[in-house]
Structure 1
Amino acid sequence: ADMENYRKRQQRYSQNQIEQERARLLNAFLGIVDDLERALAAPDGDDDPPRGEGLRHGDALRRGVELTHRAALQVLQKEGAVALAAENQPFDPNWHEAV
């Protein structure tokens, strides 16, 4: 019985460690997504001189940020993160983080 209790306790401990690490990873990754969203909200840079094959520097930068943003969101979704509608909603400290 003691061995069975020990095994169950170790299993719970391991699961708790996994959940804590997952939360740490998701929290760090959310900061990256926030930065990418701010970059996407910036003006396109249509006044930039053409570079390369007809893509303006601002267009190429935006495309790169869009691809990175999409990949970041896919990782978050794969890890179980769910977007919460926070814009124009009252602040709820249980769900929102003040910045």
Structure 2
Amino acid sequence: MTQNDIPTPDQDAEATLESQLRDEIEALRGEIEQLRADSLRERADLENQRKRVARDVEQARRFANERLLGELLPVFDSLDAGLAAAGDQTGPLKDGMELTYRQLLKVAADNGLAVVDPVGQPFNPEHHQAISQADPAGAAPGSVLQVFQKGYLLNDRLLRPALVVVARHD
């Protein structure tokens, strides 16, 4: 062994310092990667929360008038009953009731309300409530024969089911 092969204390200190610096650089790189991953996770969480809030706001907007429209349903029922009682009569009173009814329905429809009046359609338990069955001639089994009370949907969500009479199955 020669004198040049033996490390000097300065070379030992330099090698140790270099090793410590490499270890510290690797530790810092690991921390940076962890912080980058945390940042991406936080961004994703924030984006998901933003979408959730936007969805909740949209739902609240679509159904904000649900209570008001629900309270107007008896008014629709009364106008329906009045027009049915007027039958074939003509005159300014019936004309005024029909006009009022059409205007009220238009305003309600503009706010997302749709009438469920299923006469002749197949019974749908999601939108209809059967109150009795009957055996009429010529009607398809399971079809709606008569509507006692119209149902209503608010933006495709059931506000009130239609009360119906259903054709009995043979």
Category of TM-score, reference length = shorter chain? 0.5 to 0.7
TM-score w.r.t. the length of structure 1 is 0.61
The alpha-carbon distance between structure 1 residues 4 and 89, as it changes in their structure 2 partners (threshold 3 A), is closer
Structure with more relative contact order (C-alpha pairs < 8 Å, separation 6 or more): 1
AA of the residue aligned to 2:91: D
Name which one, 1 or 2, has greater alpha-carbon Rg.
2
Deviation digits for residues 22-81 of structure 1, max 9, x if unmatched? Answer: 44444333332221111111137x7xxxxxxxxxxx934323212210111111222233
Q: Does 1:34 align with 2:34?
A: no
TM-score w.r.t. the length of structure 2 is 0.40
AA of the residue aligned to 2:119: E
Equivalent residue, structure 2, for 1:4: 47
CA distance in 2, matches of 1:36, 1:22: 21
AA of the residue aligned to 1:42: A
Runs (5+) with no aligned partner, structure 2:
1-42, 129-160, 165-170
Q: 1:29–1:76: 8 Å Cα contact kept in structure 2? A: no
CA distance in 2, matches of 1:74, 1:93: 27
Q: What is the aligned-residue RMSD (CA, Å)?
A: 2.9
Structure (1 or 2) with the greater helix fraction: 1
The alpha-carbon distance between structure 1 residues 27 and 90, as it changes in their structure 2 partners (threshold 3 A), is farther
How many residue pairs were aligned? 87
Runs (5+) with no aligned partner, structure 1:
47-57
Equivalent residue, structure 2, for 1:19: 62
Identity among equivalent pairs (%): 36
